[in-house]
Amino acid sequence: MKIVMAAAECAPFAKAGGLADVLGALPKELSRLGHEITVIIPKYSLIADKYVSEFVLKETMELFFKGQQKTFRVFEYEQAGVNYLFMEYDDYFKRDQIYGQSDDAERYAFFNRTVLEIVQQRSLEPDIIHVHDWHTAAILLLLKEDSRYESIKSAKAVLTIHNLQFQGKYSKKTFLENFEMDARYYDEGLVEWDGNFNSLKTGIFYADKVTTVSPTYRDEILTDFYGEKLNSFLQEKEQDLIGILNGIDLEVYNPAADLSIVREFDVMSMEGKQVNKRAIQLKAGLPERGDVPLLTMISRLSGQKGIDVLQEVLPDLLSNEDVQFVLLGSGEEQYETFFKELDIDFPGQVSINIGFDEAFAHLLYAGADIFLMPSHFEPCGLSQLISMRYGTVPVANKTGGLKDTVLEYDEDLKSGNGFLSDFSKDSSFDLALQRCLTFYQQSDHWEAIKKNGMKGDYSWSRSAAEYAELYESLI
Ligand code: ADP
């Protein structure tokens, strides 16, 4: 099959979270299965020079957008059988950050148009156009309704929801300006939801199939609690809604061959993990001790991730228990402030690292003992999978993909790979963490938990086969 994917992020080029990891791994796996795959993303100025210097300029294209003729360029990069195309338009994408700009609606609407221009002008003739999250969801509106893209209309459309919370909601005026489509699309409710233009809803409406990144999240988003006010609409599409669990890129996240860590290790010989732990402690300015449980969290600091839960739990834990905590993350100011204060209150016990640092993240996954993930909702979650691959034990809330991948440890059977709270049942994160710390002190159990995690199958091959099956069912 010929597949075109479009997204706002793709590892290793431009990453803000798990969306990038998926785009970095799934296309490679589909290519391995014999499919022809092209990935189109914006050429952000933050893409590292080592990649950009390898990009090949292919075309200069023109587009009429918001009443003006605009010229953009298309660069190509080949890797692992995947054809990556980068759309360069500096006015929109020469920025320090991927998202969070006041003109995001306009930037991604422009990108949406360029994707279809590229597909059409390069005669890619895809069987499937697969878009991801709100940034590219409205491509499907243009694909199905804009007469300029007649020649590629027969392509089947797939949308993956990586996070329902972000929907790309804008005013009717913004919609009309950015998409230059008849007002009836809004007035008849094809692209409108709850009094706004809604990019994600538009994509859901026009998609032939909609996927989410775990089976549990697929069911959850049909409910009021997790549905982000789109659940009644999603229920109408229920027949076409499928949950396919994410994997991780086993080459990128490989404790036995990871250039970002200090000492490699695998499930047969785990000594290297301790060396990485000491390297973290040294870097973080914490006492270099092998016996103290080292807790970590690597995350966007947003409400979703349950930082409020840590606000409740961490001060007491750090006061009463001999533990260390290292945070790597950035996001909402209120949470950054909380962690900075924690750093001041618990010197020598806590290390707070505000920012995005891929290499340090790998070292933390490799050397920490326990990974905290008290998410209120989690579409799939990759951090718990990466942790388990490196023998770091997750303590997580039982929701979404966490429920599908983290299994509570059973001391009789020595089965399970982590510890779970269940906020929906008032089972607290604190208790799950206490259970975890109790087993930390019992080395035979601790070895079993770590190894159960490391032996799990987190590969993309199973999920990629499910996507391929889904595409096949459409054509
Ligand atoms: P989400 O996509 O909701 O942010 P996931 O768990 O699915 O959460 O994926 C998060 C990805 O982003 C993981 O690969 C994680 O290691 C990475 N990540 C998050 N924050 C940082 C950070 N500050 N520095 C480096 N990597 C980070």
472 lines ligand 1 (CB under 6 A): no
* 154, 217 contact by CB (below 8 A): no
Q: What is the DSSP pairing of strand 2-6 with strand 36-42?
A: parallel
Annotated binding site: 15
pLDDT at residue 424 greater than cutoff 90: no
CATH of domain 2-247+460-474: 3.40.50.2000
300 lines ligand 1 (CB under 6 A): yes
pLDDT at residue 114 greater than cutoff 90: yes
165 lines ligand 1 (CB under 6 A): no
Residue 427 binned pLDDT confidence (cut-offs 50, 70, 90): confident
Mutate to test the pocket of ligand 1, among 296, 382, 384, 386 (most ligand atoms within 8 A of CB): 382
**What is residue 423's predicted lDDT score, i.e. its pLDDT?**
87
- Backbone dihedral angles phi then psi of residue 439, each to the nearest 5 degrees: -70, -25
CA of 357 from ligand 1 middle (Å) equals 10
* 167, 197 contact by CB (below 8 A): no
| Weakest-pLDDT range from 58-62, 365-369, 458-462 | 458-462
Ligand 1 atom nearest to CA at 355: 23
- Backbone dihedral angles phi then psi of residue 357, each to the nearest 5 degrees: -145, 100
Stretch 457-467: mean pLDDT: 94
- Token reading at 209: 């199939």
Atom 22 (ligand 1) nearest CA: 356
Residue 223 binned pLDDT confidence (cut-offs 50, 70, 90): very high
pTM of the entire structure?
Answer: 0.94
Mutate to test the pocket of ligand 1, among 298, 353, 371, 405 (most ligand atoms within 8 A of CB): 298
The per-residue pLDDT for range 260-313, each reduced to its tens digit, is 999 999 999 999 999 999 999 999 999 999 999 999 999 999 999 999 999 999
Ligand 1 atom nearest to CA at 378: 3
358 lines ligand 1 (CB under 6 A): yes
Closest CA to 371 of 402, 339, 334, 338: 402
CATH 3.30.930.10 fits 271-454, yes or no: no
Atom 2 (ligand 1) nearest CA: 18
* 341, 267 contact by CB (below 8 A): no
Task: Enumerate the CATH 3.40.50.2000 domain ranges in the chain, comma separated.
Answer: 2-247+460-474, 271-454
The per-residue pLDDT for range 339-389, each reduced to its tens digit, is 999 999 999 999 999 999 999 999 999 999 999 999 999 999 999 999 999
